Structure 1
Amino acid sequence: MRKMIDSLQFHKKLLLTLLLSFIFILSLTGVNWNEELVHHGGAATLAQLFESLLQPDLSPQILLLGISSTGITLAYAVAGMTLAILLAFLFGIFASGVLSDGKKLAFLSNGFFRGILGFMRAIHELIWAWLFVAAFGLTPFSAIFALAIPYGGILGKIFADMLNDVPQKPIEALKAAGASKLQCLLYGYFPAVRSNMISYTMYRFECAIRSSAIMSFVGLGGLGYQLQLSLDDLNYSEVWTFMFFLIAIVVLVDLWSNQIRNSFLDDKARPYQGKISLLFAALLMIGSWLFITVVEKASLIGLFTEKNLNHAVQFVRGLMGIGEELPAFASWESWSDALALTFDTFMMSIMAIGFATIAMFLTVIPAASKIANGSLTMNKGWYGRVFFVIVRSIYIFSRAVPELVWAMIIIFIFKPGILPGAIALALHNFGILGKLCAEVIEDIDTGPIRNLSLSGASRSQLFIYGIIPAVMPKFLTFILYRWEVIMRTTIIVGFVGAGGLGQQFKMSMSYFHYSDITLIIFCYLILVFIADSVSELMRKAAK
């Protein structure tokens, strides 16, 4: 019976893998593969980019500009995450239902607040930035709110799930001792999930820095703004200088995040390490808000002047199609065009996750530390460490550069269309997917692998019959998870000519066709809903 169940699960996973592979191959037919894909000067541009990579502009003027721009990017990211954490705690607690009395009230609270969190995180932060800039103008608060809303939605959902997964026996013991629901939350739920909450928040902070960098695309300052100017001037040496600043700050946050995780999860860690990190985080938050309010002279009250309120009202009226004879969302012709672009965007996401998955499979084995040091395969060699460092460095470089920045570079090589968008998305997600899957290999049980090795299995047999079957379910889970993320991101690479809904969104914003924006956002939300639903079904099938 057990063998029959195992065989059935194996065939389900094999069928799912074949289905995903077929869909990826099908997506490739959406591209006209000919010499017209590449600009005539695309090869020369690529050569210049690689040459400039080794010769970044290190002049004092550019370095000082990089430092100041990094400060702006970091301040926006920290301020946005501050508000995001507050929103996540507020909505996450209510979405979990742990404070509700009775099952019916808990169900209603859970559904209502999870719906709010779902809407907040469904729309990409750059779309929020466009909307806020259109409503309030070029103020730092447009960037801060644009970061706070989607990241608050993401963190809130994760916090709610963490609270729901807390074992109930300690909570029941607190209730039996007469503790109120608030006391159960403070002394039962929070201590159980504190370290995981901090760990995931730090990961999202790293993502927020990348998101903050691309706020420049709607006219807000920071590293992305300097990158865009340098790319427009074809000054690739400056491009790489600013790129290295962005990579450096992401790496530093990653190291800080690891230090915080270790201080809370490692029993041998010194007690003061966590306190120092939290104190530094508090100082960073205070410093960021002081920079925004004192140096940037941004005023939250100033957003609600009569002029801004009138402008915001006109913008909302435009989104609703008030004053138009036939709004875009009431026109079948507009729907037909939007749905065609929606399909292109969907194909772009499939192509992107396919490229990223292929690149991950080609590099993930040497990227696992247990493979590099020989502890898993019992086959040590000096070359293992060399490949490990090289591949892991590529992963860091790949994921540190935001998708939009990759797209801005690639569009100089490839002609506009869904292919450059897919490549840009794949380049960013390849680094993330590779890191996640390498850690899966590092976490597997070494016993069965070593038994195969002691039985005389070759290195290739260890991979085929030992490692790959053990890691494939989690690999599929991470691939599907990243596809969900890619689906939410496809719209922004279109801003630089990568096709799909994003390109039309930018054109509609530029020409003030606001009812078109409503239609595009609606199609975008449909895509996100489809991605969430299909991904959830496939994850269940992969278990």
Structure 2
Amino acid sequence: MANSGQRLKQVSLFFLISALLLLPWADLAVYQVEPGTELGRMLNGLLHPDLSQWRTLLSATGITLAFAFIGVAAAAILGLPLALLFQWRAIRVACAFFRAIHELFWALIFMQVFGLSALTGLLAITLPYACTFAKVYAEILGGVDDHNSVPKGTDKISHWCYSKIPSAWSALVAYTRYRFECALRSSAILGFIGLPTLGFYLETSFSQGQYDEATTILLLFFALIASLKLWLYARLVPLYLLAAFWLLPDTATVHGSYLWQFFSQDIWPKAVQAGDWSAAFSWYGKQLQEIALPAVGNTLLLTQLSLAVTCLLMIAFSWLGSQQFGCRPSQVCGHGVLLVMRSTPEMILAFIFLLIFGPSMLPAILALALHNGALISYLGSRIADNVKLRLDAPRGLNRYGYEVLPRLYPQLLTFLLYRWEVIMRESAILGILGITTLGFYIDSAFEDIRFDRAALLIIVSALLNITIDSLSRRARAYAGLRELRMG
């Protein structure tokens, strides 16, 4: 029977070899005639940011923060009671399904009913985040050993309110802060469907070739993420929430009948509405064969290639910013590089690379690998700081390759397997940019007012994510990797 080291090697080789076998089917061509010219224009814009639209960007920043604050607050309020009921299979299944659907897909759904309103953005963040909070809060609270701190016969609600929640409060707050940073990225990319967040103005600037304005927006977003520790204090959150409600854009009045009509009629094919089940099965079979299966194939292809490149990047760069390597200035620079890459949403990175290389899988692979590779490398560098070395340990690359990386790799692989499902979700949504993954066909279905097709493909996307999440758990268990709580 293979030991834990051999199993780690087997899992790692499986992902790398599978990616190599998939390479012949990947479209990695560069379609831009002169990608260097476009890159040069972007670098010129980076050196000369345009601050003339600062009032507009300030308003967009406020809306971005408002969506994030209210969305996370509402999700946490909903997620905590769901965590109390998480032992029920129905709750677990429902939460797994709803959190498997990307925020942008939820936004596309709610936009058909509420239009480009504040309610669309808030629901798009709140619904999947609440289900994520339910899962992680349940894991945190389930890990609290407090059986001797409450009298026998105490009811479950009192037990949780007076013992478990106070005992786990610091962990609950820490995870909620992490999800707020994620919500800032989600809020920003809601601009790609027209909501007035920073992503809307960023996409507009890049599309028009105004890279000086785009640079300003990116720098503003990086500053927002980097400065969280300076202004995100628990005692100020109530004030931030009050300000967030004031900053929200207007929401049009929508009658409840519209929502009922959308979910009871619009998302079902005509054959189902007419009760013609034979025609309905024929329609669903045709959609699955002609659209869903090719889209799933491209989504899986993009996911596995991105996962393999992410693995290579996390191995190569988990020393950046670590106190074990280099001097203080180099550590600060390394930390800054990782901060920029992990703070930039994959959608924005992919959009930039599309402008440079043209419409292929290459921009999406680069975007997914750089973002996730930087995130895992950042976590790895923090763990590397705590590695105890011998007094005669080698220096430089030898120290990293022979001393630190072997001890670090199990944690890195754990993080990578946790990000597998996230990469799958992002691979699907990047189709909105024109890459033929599930998101491409879902966005096209909404544009063609084919809500029945869009609903079917969104369900396929959710089931695919649930499957990958299950495979990730099995791979971690097989390799003997400990469980972590990541989003």
Q: Give the TM-score normalised by the residue count of structure 1.
A: 0.82
Report the counterpart of residue 75 of structure 2 in structure 1: 84
Q: Is 2:372 the counterpart of 1:429?
A: yes
Q: 2:254 aligns with which of 279, 303, 306?
A: 303
Q: 2:462 aligns with which of 525, 528, 532?
A: 525
Q: Is 2:65 the counterpart of 1:38?
A: no
Structure with higher helix content: 1
- Tell me how far apart the structure 2 counterparts of residues 89 and 82 of structure 1 sit (CA, whole Å): 11
Q: 1:181 to 1:52 in 2, by over 3 A?
A: same
Preserved contact between residue 421 and residue 494 of structure 1 (Cα < 8 Å): no
Which segments of 5 or more consecutive residues in structure 2 lack a partner in the other structure? Answer: 481-487
Residue-pair matches, total: 477
- Tell me how far apart the structure 1 counterparts of residues 366 and 411 of structure 2 sit (CA, whole Å): 24
Which piece of structure 1 moves more, 425-434 or 504-513?
Answer: 425-434
- Per-residue CA deviation, residues 130-176 of structure 1 (Å, 9 max, x unaligned), is 00001222210000000001111111100011111111xx3244133
- Name the SS of the counterpart of 2:355 in structure 1: coil
Q: How does 1:491-502 map to 2 (within 5 A)?
A: 491-502=428-439
Q: 1:329 to 1:87 in 2, by over 3 A?
A: farther
Q: 1:166 to 1:142 in 2, by over 3 A?
A: same
- Per-residue CA deviation, residues 244-301 of structure 1 (Å, 9 max, x unaligned), is 11111111225556xxxxxxxxxxxxxxxxxxx2220111112212333xxx3437xx
Question: CA-atom RMSD, angstroms?
Answer: 2.4
Give the Å deviation of 1:333: 5.8
Q: 2:239 aligns with which of 283, 288, 291?
A: 283
Q: Is 2:16 the counterpart of 1:21?
A: yes
- Tell me how far apart the structure 1 counterparts of residues 68 and 126 of structure 2 sit (CA, whole Å): 9
Q: Is 2:173 the counterpart of 1:198?
A: yes
Report the counterpart of residue 147 of structure 2 in structure 1: 171
Counterpart residue identity of residue 79, structure 2: A
Give the Å deviation of 1:81: 0.9
Report the counterpart of residue 223 of structure 1 in structure 2: 198
Q: Which has the higher contact order (CA 8 A, sep 6+)?
A: 2
Q: Is 2:323 the counterpart of 1:332?
A: no
Preserved contact between residue 216 and residue 225 of structure 1 (Cα < 8 Å): yes
Give the Å deviation of 1:335: 2.3
Q: Is 2:425 the counterpart of 1:469?
A: no
Counterpart residue identity of residue 237, structure 2: A
- Tell me how far apart the structure 2 counterparts of residues 13 and 521 of structure 1 sit (CA, whole Å): 34
Q: 1:290 to 1:319 in 2, by over 3 A?
A: farther
- Per-residue CA deviation, residues 418-440 of structure 1 (Å, 9 max, x unaligned), is 22222221222122111111122
Give the Å deviation of 1:8: 2.1
- Name the SS of the counterpart of 2:452 in structure 1: helix
Q: How does 1:34-183 map to 2 (within 5 A)?
A: 36-59=29-52, 62-95=53-86, 97=87, 109=88, 111-167=89-145, 170-176=146-152, 179-183=154-158
Give the Å deviation of 1:232: 2.1
Q: How does 1:131-530 map to 2 (within 5 A)?
A: 131-167=109-145, 170-176=146-152, 179-256=154-231, 277-292=233-248, 296-298=249-251, 302-304=253-255, 306=257, 310=261, 313-317=264-268, 322=273, 330-332=284-286, 334-369=288-323, 371-372=324-325, 383-444=326-387, 446=388, 449-450=389-390, 453=393, 462-530=399-467
- Per-residue CA deviation, residues 189-223 of structure 1 (Å, 9 max, x unaligned), is 01221000000000000010110011122221111
Preserved contact between residue 321 and residue 515 of structure 1 (Cα < 8 Å): no
Counterpart residue identity of residue 43, structure 2: F
Which segments of 5 or more consecutive residues in structure 1 lack a partner in the other structure? Answer: 98-108, 258-276, 373-382
Preserved contact between residue 487 and residue 528 of structure 1 (Cα < 8 Å): yes
Preserved contact between residue 319 and residue 380 of structure 2 (Cα < 8 Å): no
Q: 1:12 to 1:47 in 2, by over 3 A?
A: same
Q: Give the TM-score normalised by the residue count of structure 2.
A: 0.91
Preserved contact between residue 27 and residue 347 of structure 1 (Cα < 8 Å): yes
